[in-house]
Structure 1
Amino acid sequence: MKALKILGIIIGVLILLGVIGSYIPSSFDVTRSATIDAPKDQIMSQVVDLNDFAEWNPWSEGDTTMSIEVMGEPATIGHKYTWSSETQGDGEMEITDIDGSEVTFQLIFSMDPDNVSHTTFSFEEVEGGTLVSWHMEGETALIWSYLMDVTLGTSFEKGLANLKNRVDAMEVEPVFEIVEIDLPETHYLIHREEISMSDMESFFTTHFGALFGGLTAAGIEPASMPSALYWTWDMENEKSDLAAAVAVASPDVTLEGYELFTVPASKALQIHYYGPYEGVGDAHMALDAYILENNLDYGSPVMEEYANDPAEVAPEEILTIVTYPIAHKMDSSEEM
């Protein structure tokens, strides 16, 4: 009987502590990290766009009937994600701060709207990729604070694994350094035609050989490596108005079968693209996007200079210099 009495006292104390603990406030602080083999900006884009967050966060898969709404402009303060779920509860998450390596959200759960928590994603470039850390802190009842590291930590680990799998499945978009240059007046000897894109390789092989062979025979030093000039690029009809070209130092240089063409001095955008030529289209798309985003006008022609010999360097060291002449558009305040 005495043992039962002692056991009853212990159970009573535990119940009392549980009741008291459910009312005493306490704080929690949970962090989990994972290294993802991808550039920081690519991973960060999956966090600052809450449309993407909806695809990899660990709670969405726990309730396939969860109602989700995303509001506001991605990657801006005020971008918001709300959810309503029979099993996961209701709440909202909103971006409150973004800097170069950290994104902070405010979280409010409908069952306790006065209790605001904060969660932060930080991104650190490390050997092997980017170290992504998911951190959350806030207030909860004392009895729950001891469980948060286990329950919330497990969810963070699952979410980071989902994020890694999502990023691993994505194609990495190349990043190019685009520089604005003062393009000098340049004289070229060219052979220009509108040709089928399927004939480009044989066209350039024939005319680069003839150009350099002719200049060498005449004792004239070329002023550039083999180059291509493009006036049109018609994907629909698979044709291009283009020229095989080589720069020369003087406008007085002549070569039978080739004409002199002068590219006037102008502002220009330029990318030094390294890699097999099959990937140079990415550099052109990056320049097209830059021109559009910065309200510029295209000049002409677009130029590619094949700056080294593919037979003498590794594939990743093949250099193509892509140059786009440009003009700045006038806005209404500049117009007369």
Structure 2
Amino acid sequence: MKILKYLFFLLLIIVIGSAIYFGTKDGTYNIQDAAIIEAPTEVVFKKVNDYKNWEEWGPWKKEDPTITFTYAEKTSGEGASYSWEGEMSGAMKTTKVIPNKEIEQDLTLYTPAGERNPKVYWKFEEVPDGTKVTWGMMGEHPLVDKIYYSLSGFDFEEAMHKMNKIGLDGIATAVAEDMKQYSINVDGITQYGGGYYMYTTSVAKQSEINEKMTPMMTEVESFINTNNLNTAGKPFTLFNEIDSQNKTVIFSTAVPVREKVITPEGSPVVCGYMEPVTAVKITLKGNYDYLSEAYLKGRQFIKENNHTIDTSKKMFEVYLTNPDKTPNPAEWLTEIYIPVLDTAANNNTLF
């Protein structure tokens, strides 16, 4: 009997001692990982801000194929939420959003040992190579978790770092695929209305056009703003002469204006006039990298429909979206016009 009492008190001392030992151990944690994603900040932010995107890049489905997701009516922005059921069920709610800067979320996990409520946070920072994304989680382990991790040898922080890395890699992959999306549509024969435009001209290798085009377009737009001119349409590029053998192009960047403008002698920006033109119109939605494919489809349409390219007129591209305001290349809209000799055209005057 005395031995039983002794064993009981010994066990009680061990339990109390263990509780004191584990109870005094610091259970707070703040685990974060960061990655540079080669994409505009707004594009990366949107991929994280909407919970419906999380299935695409998250590591959870691979770890638990039985997991199922349920989405609230609001899935992005402050107040958005979703939940899931699986080997470990849970829910998440967005509590704070600073667009393209920060996201804070409340996470609820239903573990065998009870409910856990860590805080999740995201930070987005524009850097020269794209966007620096930081994904973190903070909270405090209760006594039972500290005992379990110590006795089982489970490294909680290592597991979270691994999950974060897989998730961040998943975001990078998903964003890259999103930005590659494009579509090309040959709209057919149309009539482009023509009119006055302000422009500047240069020559470049075909591979250097995009690089030279941006400062040239900025110069034209600056001239228009400085002189309070009224624009009459979207910016465009006019291809004056193409030397296929030397792969060079003489081109003009231009912006339509409402009336003829007389410029001072020596001005780098001058006024031109485009006669109404019958052309095959091709619409590209996507990165400018796919322009060559769009031109190819336009030429195929011309050949298949027995049209003839009007070599006396100049091909041109109209840019419906501004890349500075639309950071995702997959959403860029470009209209391509290849002049043809056909006289029977639709009466679609565009400016």
Under a length normalisation based on structure 2, what TM-score does the superposition of the two structures give?
0.49
Cα shift readout 1:108-161 (whole Å, capped 9, x = no counterpart): 123477653210111112232211111111121252788432222221122212
**In the alignment, residue 151 of structure 1 is paired with which amino acid?**
A
Structure 2 CA distance, aligned partners of 1:204 and 1:83? Answer: 60
Q: 2:73: which partner in 1?
A: 72
- Mapping of residues 1-336 of structure 1, within 5 Å: 18-20=18-20, 26-86=27-87, 89-99=88-98, 100-111=100-111, 115-141=116-142, 143=146, 147-172=155-180, 182-183=231-232, 184-186=257-259, 188=273, 190-193=275-278, 198-199=301-302, 203-208=309-314, 282-284=332-334, 301-303=349-351
Residue pair 2:321, 2:332 contacting (<8 A) in 1 also? no
Residue pair 1:28, 1:138 contacting (<8 A) in 2 also? yes
Consecutive unaligned residues of structure 1, counting only runs of 5 or more, are: 1-10, 209-225, 230-268, 286-299, 304-336
Structure 1 CA distance, aligned partners of 2:89 and 2:175? Answer: 28
Cα shift readout 1:207-260 (whole Å, capped 9, x = no counterpart): 35xxxxxxxxxxxxxxxxx8799xxxxxxxxxxxxxxxxxxxxxxxxxxxxxxx
Are the structure 2 counterparts of residues 204 and 22 from structure 1 closer, same or farther at C-alpha, using a change threshold of 3 Å? Answer: farther
Are the structure 2 counterparts of residues 270 and 121 from structure 1 closer, same or farther at C-alpha, using a change threshold of 3 Å? Answer: same
Aligned residues: 217
Cα shift readout 1:179-226 (whole Å, capped 9, x = no counterpart): 995434337563544769644995442235xxxxxxxxxxxxxxxxx8
Are the structure 2 counterparts of residues 47 and 19 from structure 1 closer, same or farther at C-alpha, using a change threshold of 3 Å? Answer: same
**In the alignment, residue 101 of structure 1 is paired with which amino acid?**
K
Structure 1 residue 20: Cα displacement: 4.5
Residue pair 2:28, 2:140 contacting (<8 A) in 1 also? yes
Residue pair 1:33, 1:133 contacting (<8 A) in 2 also? yes
- Percent identical among aligned pairs is 18
Are the structure 2 counterparts of residues 199 and 161 from structure 1 closer, same or farther at C-alpha, using a change threshold of 3 Å? Answer: closer
Are the structure 2 counterparts of residues 17 and 157 from structure 1 closer, same or farther at C-alpha, using a change threshold of 3 Å? Answer: farther
Task: Indicate the larger mover: 22-31 or 52-61.
Answer: 22-31
Are the structure 2 counterparts of residues 191 and 114 from structure 1 closer, same or farther at C-alpha, using a change threshold of 3 Å? Answer: closer
Structure 1 residue 93: Cα displacement: 0.8
Structure 1 residue 66: Cα displacement: 0.7
Are the structure 2 counterparts of residues 206 and 17 from structure 1 closer, same or farther at C-alpha, using a change threshold of 3 Å? Answer: farther
2:107 alignment partner, SS class: strand
Q: 1:332: which partner in 2?
A: none
**In the alignment, residue 55 of structure 1 is paired with which amino acid?**
E
2:39 alignment partner, SS class: coil
Structure 1 CA distance, aligned partners of 2:51 and 2:138? Answer: 20
Task: Indicate the larger mover: 157-166 or 36-45.
Answer: 157-166
Structure 2 CA distance, aligned partners of 1:161 and 1:108? Answer: 24
Structure 2 CA distance, aligned partners of 1:228 and 1:165? Answer: 31
Residue pair 1:30, 1:148 contacting (<8 A) in 2 also? no
Consecutive unaligned residues of structure 2, counting only runs of 5 or more, are: 1-10, 183-213, 233-256, 261-272, 282-297, 336-347
Are the structure 2 counterparts of residues 149 and 15 from structure 1 closer, same or farther at C-alpha, using a change threshold of 3 Å? Answer: farther
Task: Indicate the larger mover: 51-60 or 106-115.
Answer: 106-115
Are the structure 2 counterparts of residues 37 and 185 from structure 1 closer, same or farther at C-alpha, using a change threshold of 3 Å? Answer: closer
**In the alignment, residue 110 of structure 1 is paired with which amino acid?**
Y
Under a length normalisation based on structure 1, what TM-score does the superposition of the two structures give?
0.51
Residue pair 1:191, 1:207 contacting (<8 A) in 2 also? no
Residue pair 1:77, 1:98 contacting (<8 A) in 2 also? yes
Residue pair 1:28, 1:148 contacting (<8 A) in 2 also? no
**In the alignment, residue 89 of structure 2 is paired with which amino acid?**
D
Are the structure 2 counterparts of residues 104 and 270 from structure 1 closer, same or farther at C-alpha, using a change threshold of 3 Å? Answer: same
